[in-house]
């Protein structure tokens, strides 16, 4: 008999905590061997490294489950306001090392494994990345989970358990090829399947109206298709706290209730096959980062995720509450971009149709619980679903959206005196030549109490551009929440030598939860001995990156070279093209130098990595161009090791964990006003890599924190961009830019025809991302980089100051702000006995 919430008390929890599994080396070894034998059913005398990983993972999972259970029981007992983070993506990467660190059991596990004859490093490598996200947005959600757990917040994440995560990128003869990432082949040891936590999710069909006895209209949605959402729970441990929160991912299964009629009247086999189709809903992550794709399956995924999530949240609430009166005091929901916006009409539907609340009451509740994060101002990324599709797939939701819009338009007229065209331009429903569309961002804006951008400049821009009219009427809804990253994964774990040096220097490891403390490093920036230690730590991290590249290419890297890195999704706005143009120019210059002149050249290893969306032709051509330049440069004996260029295939979280610490310089060179925030910039800065970048996204705030003089800033400002765009065709193009373009156009790197669409895209009035405008100032900044490198002490000083100034960019700070300013949730630390 499970204890009821009111019988749970501190004593009971203490009792539970007392019986936690032991973390001495022998107990851990016993538990690993136990899992080898009873979970994997392998011989305890003979298991390979992968099996050692799986057994160790299960052993660690046991420890996570203890904490998870206690945390959840504790939260249930206290019944605080909880926050739910709804996201279609979680780019988690690996879990093993993170869990070891956060639970504080790294050392005993290391000893336990080595005692059994296994190398911790190799065991870790056996883990596959959980890559259920595209890039920044999904990785942000994962950093947030780590911070929410560490800050003891009563929080959960909700998303989808895709069977195929982000595709694996293979580069063959310079071309990107996509391979499916069926990441569950050997099972995922961190998840807990909950077959009994399952909800029906409905699609299609029609809506009928029934008059109830009190004269009210009841809407009944007779669905045409029903699938089951089954929960898979992933425990997320906080650092140095027993608090372990949950990431609940939904998988689609065929509906439990078989339509026996269909089976008996005809083709038994094809009826089963039809049922199987349910599972396709959660089979694959859409691999597009920034372009909206109006595919029906994608809309199904969105509804599937939010419907299961809301049913789960409402069920949990109703277990402890008789009425919905306290719902807004107990529930906050954050929409990670507009992808989960259908949660709004879904909650309205649940309240009205299933719980018989009136519209006014339902709307009052709904508008108090949702808040929404915008992640981009790029118009092609904004979600607009055809009304005809929403109507077909979710007929009741479409009615509700129309109702929301009708009331909203009335409010605009009556309370804000808005009329005519402006009503149309603010309407959730947009009339286009292709038919009516639902603007998801507008729906999210109307129903959310708060909308936020993800860096100061971005939050300002959304108020001035895409959401201007909404800001005019509801300025109080708009906030900024500058992104952050978790320093546990992105510094403490991925860079052990730097971790040790920081801890030794500050005399405390408190920076792992209070990143502001890093500013204490600034006092040592001028100290020669400290600089020496700092430089040694960097060499260690560079050696690890060099070894990774050696494995990939067979080349030995020049350790005296600047490791110059640009890793992120390939996109025109991120301007990898501009980077490679400057590399082509550098190559050409070296070619024309005398041996004497070459002695003055600062050597560079240029590393570029990132995936192109499979349908993004330009991005794929950029990858080919990088590969072609790499091929020519790396094989040219005139150049030697003064310049090397590598495209690292299949950039993912695990690779980032090696690449980021090992870089000297990182490129954050998007056209000003296009990158909402960026988060890799923060990771690099934390690890003492210097930024060459534009005043865009979080670069602006990084410059405020670490000092513009410690970065290599260049390029036009966001405010100038619109005017410059309109004058592009009159621009006097810089001769160096023209020369770089000519090199490619003239076939210096081969494939001239294939690259011609790229060249056209930056020519004259077509140069939307203003490569021609920024090129000269970019080259200047690159020149400053070379100058700086020659002065080792000065470079190291800047590197120290980068880390020292990155305290603001912890996701702990970001989450703290969300909790205080948006969610109204408070920490609830589980108490543990002495």
Q: Which active-site residues does the annotation give?
A: 375, 568-569, 574, 679, 683
Q: Given the rule CB under 6 A, which of 41-49, 302-310, 468-476, 673-681 is the region that contacts ligand PLP? A: 673-681
Cα angle for residues 597, 598, 599 (degrees, 5° grid)? 90
Q: What is the DSSP string of 468-489?
A: HHHHHH-GGGEEE----B-HII
Which H helix or E strand runs over 66?
helix 49-78
Among 75, 656, 669, 706, binds ligand PLP (CB under 6 A): 656
Q: Which is nearer to ligand PLP, 140 or 447 (CB)?
A: 140
Q: Furthest-apart CA pair in the chain: how many Å?
A: 96
Q: Which is nearer to ligand PLP, 148 or 656 (CB)?
A: 656
Cβ of residue 433: shortest distance to ligand PLP, in angstroms? 34
Q: If you ran DSSP here, which 8-state letter would residue 256 be given? A: S
Binding-site residue total for ligand PLP (CB under 6 A)?
Answer: 12
Cβ atoms of 295 and 175 within 8 Å: the answer is no
Q: Which is nearer to ligand PLP, 13 or 656 (CB)?
A: 656
Cβ of residue 679: shortest distance to ligand PLP, in angstroms? 4
Cβ of residue 120: shortest distance to ligand PLP, in angstroms? 23
CA distance 295 to 283: 14
Burial class (CB in 10 A: 0-12, 13-18, 19+), 516: middle
Q: Given the rule CB under 6 A, which of 150-158, 204-212, 640-648, 649-657 is the region that contacts ligand PLP? A: 649-657
Residues 517-576 that bind ligand PLP (CB under 6 A): 568
Q: Which two tokens stand for residue 535?
A: 């430089």
Among 64, 462, 653, 716, binds ligand PLP (CB under 6 A): 653
Per rule CB under 6 A, is residue 683 in the interface with ligand PLP? Answer: yes
Rounded-to-5 percentages of helix, strand, coil across the chain: 55, 15, 30
Per rule CB under 6 A, is residue 694 in the interface with ligand PLP? Answer: no
Among 165, 238, 678, 830, binds ligand PLP (CB under 6 A): 678
Q: Given the rule CB under 6 A, which of 79-87, 302-310, 431-439, 679-687 is the region that contacts ligand PLP? A: 679-687
Among 135, 287, 345, 453, binds ligand PLP (CB under 6 A): 135
Q: Which is nearer to ligand PLP, 139 or 808 (CB)?
A: 139
Residue 45: which residues within 8 A CB-CB, separation 6 or more?
none
Per rule CB under 6 A, is residue 136 in the interface with ligand PLP? Answer: yes
Among 71, 374, 627, 680, binds ligand PLP (CB under 6 A): 680
Number of Cβ within a 10 Å radius of residue 87: 28
Per rule CB under 6 A, is residue 77 in the interface with ligand PLP? Answer: no
Cβ of residue 651: shortest distance to ligand PLP, in angstroms? 6
Cβ atoms of 113 and 28 within 8 Å: the answer is no
Per rule CB under 6 A, is residue 336 in the interface with ligand PLP? Answer: no
Residue 787: which residues within 8 A CB-CB, separation 6 or more?
none
Cβ of residue 652: shortest distance to ligand PLP, in angstroms? 5
Q: What is the DSSP string of 611-656?
A: PPPTT-HHHHHHHHHHHHHHHHHHT-TTTGGGEEEEEESS--HHHH
CA distance 562 to 647: 16
Per rule CB under 6 A, is residue 652 in the interface with ligand PLP? Answer: yes
Cβ of residue 210: shortest distance to ligand PLP, in angstroms? 50
Over 691-704, what HEC string results? EEECCCCCHHHHHH
Cβ of residue 102: shortest distance to ligand PLP, in angstroms? 18
Per rule CB under 6 A, is residue 671 in the interface with ligand PLP? Answer: no
Residue 127: which residues within 8 A CB-CB, separation 6 or more?
53, 57, 94, 95, 96
Q: What residues line the site for ligand PLP (CB under 6 A)? A: 135-136, 139, 568, 651-653, 656, 678-680, 683
């Amino acid at each position: 008999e499970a204890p009821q919430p009111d019988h749970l008390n501190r004593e009971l929890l203490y009792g539970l905590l007392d019986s936690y599994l032991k973390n001495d080396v022998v107990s851990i070894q016993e538990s690993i061997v136990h899992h080898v034998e009873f979970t994997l059913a392998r011989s305890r005398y003979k298991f390979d490294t992968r099996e050692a990983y799986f057994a160790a993972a299960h052993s660690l999972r046991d420890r996570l489950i203890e904490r998870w259970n206690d945390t959840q029981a504790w939260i249930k007992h206290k019944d605080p306001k909880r926050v739910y983070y709804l996201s279609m993506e979680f780019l988690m990467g690996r879990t093993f090392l993170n869990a070891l660190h956060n639970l504080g059991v790294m050392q005993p596990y290391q000893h336990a494994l080595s005692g059994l004859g296994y190398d911790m490093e190799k065991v870790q490598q056996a883990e596959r990345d959980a890559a259920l996200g595209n890039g920044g947005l999904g990785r942000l959600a994962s950093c947030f989970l780590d911070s929410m757990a560490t800050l003891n917040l009563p929080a959960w994440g909700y998303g989808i358990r895709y069977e195929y995560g982000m595709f694996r990128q293979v580069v063959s003869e310079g071309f990107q090829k996509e391979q499916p990432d069926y990441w569950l082949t050997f099972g995922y040891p961190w998840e807990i399947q909950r077959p009994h936590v399952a909800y029906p999710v409905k699609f299609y069909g029609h809506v009928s109206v029934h008059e109830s006895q009190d004269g009210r209209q009841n809407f009944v949605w007779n669905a045409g298709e029903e699938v089951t959402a089954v929960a898979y729970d992933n425990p997320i441990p906080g650092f140095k706290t027993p608090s372990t929160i949950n990431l609940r991912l939904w998988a689609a299964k065929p509906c439990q209730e078989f339509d026996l009629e269909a089976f008996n009247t005809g083709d038994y086999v094809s009826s089963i096959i039809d049922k199987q189709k349910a599972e396709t809903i959660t089979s694959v992550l859409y691999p597009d980062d920034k372009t909206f794709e109006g595919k029906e399956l994608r809309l199904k995924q969105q509804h599937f995720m939010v419907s299961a999530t809301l049913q789960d949240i409402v069920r949990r609430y109703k277990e402890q509450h008789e009425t919905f009166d306290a719902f807004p005091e107990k529930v906050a929901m954050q929409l990670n971009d507009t992808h989960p916006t259908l949660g709004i009409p879904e909650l309205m539907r649940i309240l009205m149709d299933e719980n018989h609340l009136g519209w006014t009451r339902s709307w009052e509740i709904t508008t108090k619980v949702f808040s929404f994060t915008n992640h981009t101002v790029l118009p092609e990324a904004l979600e607009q679903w055809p009304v005809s599709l929403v109507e077909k797939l979710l007929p009741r939701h479409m009615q509700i959206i129309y109702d929301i819009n009708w009331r909203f338009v009335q409010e605009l007229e009556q309370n804000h005196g808005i009329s005519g065209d402006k009503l149309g331009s603010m309407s959730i429903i947009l009339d286009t030549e292709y038919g009516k569309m639902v603007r998801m961002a507008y729906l999210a804006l109307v129903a959310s109490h708060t909308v936020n951008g993800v860096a100061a400049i971005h939050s300002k821009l959304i108020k001035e551009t895409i959401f201007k009219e909404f800001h005019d009427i509801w300025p109080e809804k708009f906030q900024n929440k500058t992104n952050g990253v978790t320093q546990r994964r992105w510094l403490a774990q991925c860079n052990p030598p730097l971790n040790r040096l920081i801890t030794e220097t500050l005399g405390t490891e408190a920076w792992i939860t209070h990143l502001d403390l890093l500013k204490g490093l600034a006092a040592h920036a001028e100290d020669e001995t400290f600089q020496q230690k700092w430089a040694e730590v960097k060499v260690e991290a560079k050696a690890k990156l060099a070894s990774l590249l050696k494995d990939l290419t067979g080349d030995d890297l020049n350790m005296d070279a600047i490791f110059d890195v640009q890793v992120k999704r390939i996109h025109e706005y991120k301007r990898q093209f501009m980077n490679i143009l400057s590399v082509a120019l550098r190559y050409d210059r070296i070619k024309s130098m005398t041996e004497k002149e070459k002695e003055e050249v600062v050597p560079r290893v240029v590393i570029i990595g990132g995936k192109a969306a499979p349908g993004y032709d330009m991005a794929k051509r950029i990858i080919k161009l990088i590969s072609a330049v790499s091929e020519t440069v790396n094989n040219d004996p005139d150049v030697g090791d003064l310049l090397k260029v590598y495209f690292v295939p299949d950039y993912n979280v695990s690779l980032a964990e090696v690449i980021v610490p090992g870089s000297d310089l990182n490129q954050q060179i998007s056209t000003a006003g296009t990158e909402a925030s960026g988060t890799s910039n923060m990771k690099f800065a934390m690890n003492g890599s210097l930024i060459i970048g534009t005043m865009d996204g979080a670069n602006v705030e990084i410059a405020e924190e670490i000092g513009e003089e410690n970065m290599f800033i260049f390029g036009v400002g966001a405010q100038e961009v619109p005017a410059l765009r309109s004058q592009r065709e009159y621009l006097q193009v810089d001769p160096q830019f023209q020369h770089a373009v000519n090199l490619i156009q003239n076939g210096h790197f081969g494939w001239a025809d294939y690259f011609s669409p790229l060249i056209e895209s930056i020519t004259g009035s077509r140069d939307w991302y203003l490569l021609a405008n920024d090129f000269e100032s970019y080259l200047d900044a690159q020149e400053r980089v070379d100058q700086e490198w020659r002065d080792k002490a000065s470079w190291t000083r800047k590197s120290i100051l980068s880390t020292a100034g990155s305290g603001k960019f912890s996701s702990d700070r970001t989450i703290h702000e969300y909790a205080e300013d948006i969610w109204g949730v408070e920490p609830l630390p589980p108490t543990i006995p002495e």
